[in-house]
Chain A
Amino acid sequence: MNFYGVSAIYKFEMARMKRTLMQSILSPVISTCLYFVVFGSAIGARMGDIGDVPYGAFIIPGLVMLSLLMHSISNASFGIYMPKFSGTVYEVLSAPISYIEVILGYVGAAATKSVILGLIILATSKFFVDYSILHPFWMVSFLVLTSVTFSLFGFIIGIWADNFEKLQVVPMMIVTPLVFLGGTFYSIDMLPEVWQTISLFNPVVYLISGFRWAFFGVSDVHIGISLLMTLGFLTACLVTISWIFKTGYKLRP
């Protein structure tokens, strides 16, 4: 095990976050605040409770997930895309380091940032609505699991993308719609039946539902299914990455 190698990559990536502190932490916090003002206070005041949960609190898990997903993907994809773009990736490729260790460094750092970000957003939310967390252990587990899974996903996108446009397109065109349609601002049962069925094909529904269960004990789908779906996606990402490194796809001609 190349421990020094993993720690070098991890520290390098964390240092990058420090340089872009404003962009990494401040901008998601600001956008979350805006969501709270618009959806939580302005609109939420006219909404009834969902289940037994006041609307302002109901949207918290979804908002955290929204930031978590977007930032896990953009952080991890950027982390590997930049060295590819600038050419410095030669160093990682020629180093005595296994692909698992490369991922531990890059994805570990991206996931760490996401978890920190999620916690900051949760803390920010306290200023807007009062809420309590029913299952703190599961809340943290979902937070970590989602951060890791989507950082892996972002890592794949960063390797696949060969221009900046591709790098932006997946988070913008695919993930944002999935999150908005995944029950961030509503419960799935509020939809007509057809759309409920369609929603079940949206993986983000399971994430948000599971995360919300950890907060309030209510969920759209069973918590076990949420967990299984997330683990399934994690496995799919891991398999893809091992294939990437085995074949050298877009990394080693």
Chain B
Amino acid sequence: MQPEISVKNLNKSYDDGFQALKDINLDISRGEIFALLGPNGAGKTTLISIICGLVNMSSGQVLAAGNDIIRDYRKARQAIGLVPQELATDSFETVWAAVSFSRGLFGKPANPAHIEKILKALSLWDKRNNHIMTLSGGMKRRVMIAKALSHEPRILFLDEPTAGVDVELRRDMWALVRQLRESGVTIILTTHYIEEAEEMADRIGVIRQGEIILVEDKNRLMNKLGKKELRLQLQNKLEFLPPELAAESLELSESGHELIYTFNAQHEQTGIARLLRTLGDLGIEYRDLKTRESSLEDIFVGLVRQ
């Protein structure tokens, strides 16, 4: 199947000579939720801005919904909705007028029923006649989402949609994003909340210093790079690790009350049985044990540190 977004050999150097994107190649399939992760300044916003027509590319090619974003910019842009990272709204407009304006701007005839549906889904209906400047920051962000959805796009870009948004609204947003995906919308989001990507995304892309360093199915990524940890609470404090236990993946906690063993859950031999046997032989008693899986965050931090 043809990808919904296809980025080929994309380069971007800003006027000051800074190379923000280096030979980016990326395909995003129809209907998936793709999370773009990367540290500050990695180039996430630059990439999104080029696809949406806000920044000129230096070289390369981008297709959105099968249309070249430069040659067939009308068709490409009609398919795209964008919620940019920075809050930017017209203060003096009402919510209703602002969202209706966006729909018209994207070439669609007025459709009050659709606008009503969006405003209700984003809990903005009660505020529809309010001037935007009278709304709170989180509400303004919702107005921007409503604007992006006003023309019924098939592709939605969310550049840090949940920055500065309270927990409840974040959950609402996640629900909305899932609902959109159900209806066939392709969603590309950037976020610094890794748990958000972990919770939402089908695939993860990691970008660092203008280069895509990894694109992977989320579950596969977590299996592949995920580590497990076994923590044993000791009955009696240990002063040092007995030589019999000296293995690379075994550590004694600072207090001496805990043994921490890391292993890869994918391997045939996790070594747990052997560890527990050795402990028994040495007469080291433990009163509790727990295991923990590494989160996407641990994986991400590991990747970006390299």
Which residue numbers of A lie inside 8 Å of B, CB to CB? 2-5, 7-9, 11-12, 15-16, 19, 83, 86-88, 90-98, 248, 252-253
Contacts and interface: CB of A to CB of B under 8 A. Distances in A.
B17 to A, nearest CB: 13
Contacts of A19: 92
9 contacts: A4-B109, A5-B107, A8-B105, A15-B97, A87-B87, A94-B82, A96-B74, A96-B78, A248-B56
B86 A94 contact: no
A96 B15 CA distance: 25
A75 B70 CA distance: 31
Interface in B1-47: 14-15
Contact of B107 (A4, A91, A92, A248): A4
A94 B64 CA distance: 13
B75 interface: yes
A4 B104 contact: yes
Contact of A8 (B73, B74, B104): B104
B137 to A, nearest CB: 14
B185 interface: no
Contact of A96 (B54, B56, B73, B89): B73
Contacts, number: 81
A92 B105 contact: yes
B163 to A, nearest CB: 15
A253 B109 contact: no
B73 A91 contact: no
A4 B86 contact: no
A28 to B, nearest CB: 22
Interface residues of B, number: 36
Given A19-B92, A88-B90, A94-B80, A5 B105 contact: yes
A189 B141 CA distance: 62
Contacts of A7: 104
B272 interface: no
B86 A87 contact: yes
Contact of A12 (B54, B76, B101): B101
A175 B101 CA distance: 34
B81 to A, nearest CB: 9
A142 B116 CA distance: 45
A4 B78 CA distance: 13
A97 B76 CA distance: 11
A245 to B, nearest CB: 11
Contacts of A12: 93, 101
| Residue from A2, A9, A95, A98 whose CB has the most chain B CB atoms within 10 Å | A95
Contacts of B78: 96
B265 interface: no
A91 B91 CA distance: 15
B124 interface: no
A88 B89 CA distance: 6
A95 B101 contact: no
B68 to A, nearest CB: 13
Contacts of B89: 86, 88
Nearest to B80: A94
B304 interface: no
Contacts of A83: 90
B55 A253 contact: yes
A16 B105 CA distance: 17
B127 to A, nearest CB: 18
Which 4 pairs show the lowest CB-CB distances between chains A and B?
A: A87-B88, A8-B104, A96-B77, A96-B74
B74 to A, nearest CB: 4
B106 interface: yes
A7 B14 CA distance: 34
A138 to B, nearest CB: 36
A91 B147 contact: yes
A96 B75 contact: yes
Contacts of B105: 4-5, 8-9, 91-92, 95, 97
B74 A2 contact: yes
A8 B101 contact: yes
Given A4-B109, A5-B105, A90 B54 contact: yes
